[in-house]
Homo-oligomer: A and B are copies of this chain.
């Protein structure tokens, strides 16, 4: 068995390339509508060669999903956001989510597709991980409410709104592009979005700052 760096690096390189191609094609065509051949072509190899790295379509898809969720959860911890007051932490949280939509729109779309379909491929482990992270965030918001730093709203719905309002710039980009008259959303559009969402939500839940 070969264990040196070079070999491992080449395999990893190929795998990352395939995962990236898969994320794009799955985002555009959905799980069922994405032929392995198209993913392989985008990754620059043959379907059979792709199957050598990922023995099945389902497994490839799950790896993509896992990678996306890992990335998504990075931005999840409200407590870990810079700043001390709720206003700063929430703004960073919202900006993190918008940034995710901007830099990884395909990942967002794959995830959205999966949830819309009833999350048939999402493992219980991933679901648990998501819930666990959210628990901590819900608690923190409840503390803020108890301290009178914001209106007494239901924290769960707050997160539903933040997720929806930020992800829409990735998932529904084709619609937003039409409305804004863009061929593709630009950095300034995402900045506008971040400002807007932050303003409305912070003010809307009565954050004092």
A residues engaging B (CB < 8 A)?
27-33, 109, 112-113, 115-119, 127, 131, 134, 151, 153-154, 156-161, 163-165, 167-169, 171-172, 174-176, 178-180, 192-193, 196-197, 199-206
Contacts and interface: CB of A to CB of B under 8 A. Distances in A.
Contact of A201 (B117, B158, B193, B200): B200
B160 A176 contact: yes
Contacts of A112: 112, 116, 171-172
Given A180-B156, A204-B204, A28 B164 contact: no
Given A30-B113, A112-B172, A153-B199, 17 more contacts: A27-B116, A28-B117, A29-B32, A29-B117, A32-B33, A33-B117, A116-B171, A116-B174, A118-B174, A119-B175, A156-B179, A160-B165, A160-B169, A161-B200, A164-B172, A203-B203, A203-B205
